[in-house]
Amino acid sequence: MKFQTLLALGACAALSNAQAGDEDLAEEVESVVLGGASSASSVASAATEAVKISRPSFTPTTLKAPFLEQFTNDWDSRWRVSHAKKEKTEEEWQYVGTWNVEEPTELKGIDGDKGLVLKDKAAHHAISAKFNKPIDTKGKTLVVQYETKFQGGLECGGAYMKLLQENAALKTDEFSNASPYIIMFGPDKCGSTNKVHFIFRHKNPKTGEYEEKHLKSAPMARIGRTTSLYTLIVKPDQTFQIKIDGEPIRNGSLLEEFTPAVNPEKEIEDPDDKKPEDWVDEAKITDPESKKPEDWDEDAPYEIVDEEATKPADWLDEEPTMIPDPEAQKPEDWDDEEDGDWQAPMVPNPKCEEAAGCGPWEKPMKPNPAYKGKWTAPLIDNPLYKGIWKPKKIANPGYFEDKTPGNFEPIGAIGFELWTMQNDILFDNIYIGHSIEDAEKLQKETFDVKTKIEKQEEEASKPPEPERPKSPMDLKFMDDPVHYIKEKSELFFTIAKNDPIAAVRFVPEIAGALGVALVSILVLFFGLIGGSGAAPSKEQVKAKATEAKAKAAEAKDKVAESVASGAETAQEEVKKRTTRSSAAQS
């Protein structure tokens, strides 16, 4: 390979001397090569230069709401970490997970913008904040919005919030899974389960008992490195909307999209009703008047011997189907006295694979045309059939109709009660209020700004994609002359080993360079032989120089044309071959 490369470079050097007659052209080529390398180096340097991203500084919003949290320096005056024990479980777990308010460690976004961060893996965390006064939703729109960021990813865990029911016993430092809540909303993922929860607890007006209502067909959460924004809107007309990153993804009615349904059925099946003993459930019965035909032979076999079959001519009766493996060798550590006589393992007889078969031949079996199987009487409609029995319907004693389930009971606090296998989950910019417009303004001030920066940071931090190696057919001389000559030379000599004509056709630029080099060497050789006579006159030297210069210029043009069109010529040839191949296949 080195010889091929050196030969190609030598040919080009000889060509340069023949074309120019002095060192000017060599210096020009050297300048082009070095200039190309310098250009490539500068491009690579520009590609690896760190992207400068402008980050604004955090400024608290001026918006007001019943509860709006941006985790400013006084956050700990509102939030309380719970150290209660988890109740109503097989084992009692204490909330030992730690929390901190800090700037993001991944994709920073806005300078000075802090959030509440869940810090421990595989631990139970609980934290809550009580509202200055309870939030009443009766006849009002409820808007719940917050940001979450999975800085370490999320394989199994939740990032949902709970809006806690206002009551006299509400103590945030004792917040646990048993604390009564009104709404649970937010992302949850573990394994193949991936959803955005929307659950609300509804009070039965008759019994006073609470029941969880779960959204059917919950949307999928968006799990990524950048911040996500989750928004829940519940309107006075009892409709709801869920948005992720400001994009609506789920709409519906509180009265229709939840299970169990808010309102029970007006009628229910009578639990005391019993099926009559004479009730006939069978729709079909066997025909009692049907009889087995006299010619029905239940004993006829399913298959019989094919008496018309004949043994194939190439059947090998004397050959066994299995033979000792002729290539097997007795292991070196085999001891005949302890292990017994060694026998080669059996393998299929290769002769049997080439023939129709081996060993004693027997006539094959074929389906029995007289086979009918076990006779059974056909089925007919049951004249006594009464249909499928169902208990009768009675008025539901527990029926009620709540037309406004969105009039939730007063909400007194917000809490995060979570268990997760990943840490560094960040929460920020929590809005709980009644204004859709204000929630959207907060989104524009915070989420829209930071996610734009985060995406720039994420893109800048990606490792550069490896450049796909170019085929020798795609190379261009001016991009990298040395690499071009090396690759083209290797391609030329590889093809020439099998088909010299094809090598000339596919890589004409190398063939042309070698041809010009050969001509130059011959001219030089014969010039030396001819130089053994009398010394030429000054006029003859001048004429020869002019003639050599003209020939060199002509050769230079031909080689340049060959270099420029070589790849196109080869690609056209490949296209022709592909077309012929496609035509032959069709």
Per residue in 407-439, pLDDT (tens digit) is 999 999 999 999 989 999 999 999 999 999 999
What's the confidence (pLDDT) of residue 549? 56
Shared domain for 416 and 525, answered yes or no, is: no
For residue 219, count CB atoms less than 10 angstroms from its CB and return exposed for 0-12, middle for 13-18, buried for 19 or more. Answer: middle
What long-range pairs does 267-271 form, CB within 8 A, spacing at least 24?
267/393, 267/394, 267/395, 267/396, 268/393, 268/394, 268/396, 269/390, 269/391, 269/392, 269/393, 269/394, 270/391, 270/392, 270/393, 270/394, 271/391
Shared domain for 139 and 239, answered yes or no, is: yes
What mean pLDDT do residues 576-583 have?
44
- Is pLDDT at 530 greater than 90 in this prediction? no
Shared domain for 441 and 483, answered yes or no, is: no
Shared domain for 183 and 128, answered yes or no, is: yes
Q: How many domains are contained in the chain?
A: 2
What's the confidence (pLDDT) of residue 198? 98
pLDDT tens profile 356-383: 999 999 999 999 999 999 999 999 999 9
Shared domain for 241 and 188, answered yes or no, is: yes
> Quick check: 19 and 553 in contact, CB under 8 A?
yes
Measured in whole angstroms, how far is the alpha carbon of residue 125 from the centre of its chain?
A: 31
Shared domain for 95 and 198, answered yes or no, is: yes
Q: Which residues 6+ apart lie within 8 Å of 556 measured at CB? A: 15, 19
What's the confidence (pLDDT) of residue 374? 94
Shared domain for 125 and 219, answered yes or no, is: yes
d(CA 78, CA 107): 27
- Maximum CA pair distance of the chain? 138
Shared domain for 206 and 160, answered yes or no, is: yes
Q: What is the CATH number of the domain that holds 156?
A: 2.60.120.200
Single residue among 416, 432, 458 that ends a domain in this structure: 458
Q: Which residues 6+ apart lie within 8 Å of 365 measured at CB? A: 303, 304, 305, 306
For the whole model, what pTM was predicted?
A: 0.60
Q: Which of the four pLDDT bands, split at 50, 70 and 90, describes residue 160?
A: very high
pLDDT tens profile 378-407: 999 999 999 999 999 999 999 999 999 999
Kindly state whether residue 454 falls inside one of the protein's structural domains: yes
Q: Which residues 6+ apart lie within 8 Å of 31 measured at CB? A: none
pLDDT tens profile 182-241: 999 999 999 888 999 999 999 999 999 999 999 999 999 999 889 999 999 999 999 999
Q: Which of the four pLDDT bands, split at 50, 70 and 90, describes residue 152?
A: confident
Shared domain for 452 and 531, answered yes or no, is: no
Q: Give the domain range for residue 37.
A: 2-48+469-581
Structure tokens of 515? 């041809």
Q: Which residues 6+ apart lie within 8 Å of 44 measured at CB? A: none
What's the confidence (pLDDT) of residue 551? 58
What mean pLDDT do residues 332-342 have?
90
Kindly state whether residue 101 falls inside one of the protein's structural domains: yes
For residue 95, count CB atoms less than 10 angstroms from its CB and return exposed for 0-12, middle for 13-18, buried for 19 or more. Answer: buried
Single residue among 399, 423, 458 that ends a domain in this structure: 458
Kindly state whether residue 204 falls inside one of the protein's structural domains: yes
Q: Is the peptide bond before 481 cis (omega within 30 degrees of 0)?
A: no
Shared domain for 427 and 474, answered yes or no, is: no
Max avg pLDDT among 39-43, 232-236, 453-457, 517-521: 232-236
